[in-house]
């Protein structure tokens, strides 16, 4: 049972345009959401996060939007750059007692074309 | 460098052998996590330490897997009697608080 779903395995965008990566979740107990970027042969790198009490968080070219009623979040990258080409993982946090861990989506591979 | 470091980066072993991976977290982080990742999948949670206490262990972790963090600093993950299905990237991450994890570059295991 995939509690965090990234339904698009890949996305291709032209340099300078907006990249929108989507993530859906099923567990209403999630209270914190994170996006990670991963290059081949490297560990994931934290990108941006959002608390469940907010609907938007912005950091430079990266903005994450959260729609709790739809259990949906999205990562916007504007403008997209070739160096953004990587696999992007959405992760959600369960924080209940000692059960503190992240649940991960399967990732979306973003290709930004020059 | 004050990031999370993992050693070795790549290990090739024969089926049935034991392997051990080491993780040195960011020094001020008291939480340490082990994840496993295979191609096309997101990281799968294996186990989690807060200081030296192992607070949670995934059902994915069979009896052949053991993790330790004896002094609340570095951690080791040992796999005994390796099987081909153990081939994966083993990721270590540390965190000052739950949520934001800082990952190492991973240890890739290939079991022949």
Which of B33, B41, B56 minimises the CB distance to A98?
B56
User: The tokens of B16 are what?
Assistant: 């049935």
Share of chain A above pLDDT 70, in %: 94
Confidence of residue B2 (pLDDT cuts 50, 70, 90): confident
Confidence of residue B99 (pLDDT cuts 50, 70, 90): low
Give the count of beta carbons closer than 10 Å to the beta carbon of residue A90. 28
Confidence of residue B100 (pLDDT cuts 50, 70, 90): confident
Q: Span B63-75, mean pLDDT?
A: 92
Q: Span B27-35, mean pLDDT?
A: 90
Residue with more model confidence, B58 or A82: A82
Question: Cβ(A73)–Cβ(A21) under 8 Å?
Answer: no
Q: B40-44 contacts: CB < 8 A, separation 24 or more?
A: B40/A106, B40/A107, B41/A106, B41/A107, B42/A4, B42/A89, B42/A91, B42/A104, B42/A105, B42/A106, B42/A107, B43/A44, B43/A89, B43/A102, B43/A104, B43/B91, B44/A104
| Contact list, A106 vs chain B (CB under 8 Å) | 40-42
Q: Span A55-67, mean pLDDT?
A: 96
Confidence of residue A72 (pLDDT cuts 50, 70, 90): very high
Q: What is the mean pLDDT of chain B?
A: 90
Which range (A32-36, B31-35, B63-67, B97-101) has the least confidence? B97-101
Question: Cβ(B79)–Cβ(B63) under 8 Å?
Answer: no
**φ, ψ dihedrals at A24, nearest 5°:** -120, 150
Which of A43, A89, A101 minimises the CB distance to B104?
A43
DSSP annotation of B51 reads T
């Amino acid at each position: 049972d995939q509690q965090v779903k990234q339904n698009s395995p890949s996305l291709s965008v032209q340099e300078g345009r907006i990249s929108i990566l989507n993530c859906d979740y099923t567990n209403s107990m999630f209270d914190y959401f994170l996006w990670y970027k991963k290059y081949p042969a490297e560990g994931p790198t934290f990108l941006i996060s959002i608390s469940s009490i907010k609907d938007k968080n912005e950091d430079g070219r990266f903005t994450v939007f959260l729609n709790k009623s739809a259990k949906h979040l999205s990562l916007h990258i504007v403008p997209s750059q070739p160096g953004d080409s990587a696999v992007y993982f959405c992760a959600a946090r369960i924080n209940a007692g000692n059960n503190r861990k992240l649940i991960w989506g399967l990732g979306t591979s973003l290709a930004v074309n020059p | 460098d004050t990031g999370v470091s993992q050693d070795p980066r790549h290990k090739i072993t024969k089926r049935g052998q034991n392997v051990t991976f080491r993780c040195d977290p960011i020094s001020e982080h008291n939480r340490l996590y082990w994840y496993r990742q295979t191609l096309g999948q997101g990281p799968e949670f294996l186990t989690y330490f807060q200081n030296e206490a192992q607070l949670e262990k995934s059902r994915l972790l069979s009896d052949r897997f053991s993790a330790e963090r004896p002094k609340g600093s570095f951690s080791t993950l040992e796999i005994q009697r390796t099987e081909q299905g153990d081939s994966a990237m083993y990721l270590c991450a540390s965190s000052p608080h739950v949520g934001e994890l800082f990952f190492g570059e991973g240890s890739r295991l290939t079991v022949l």
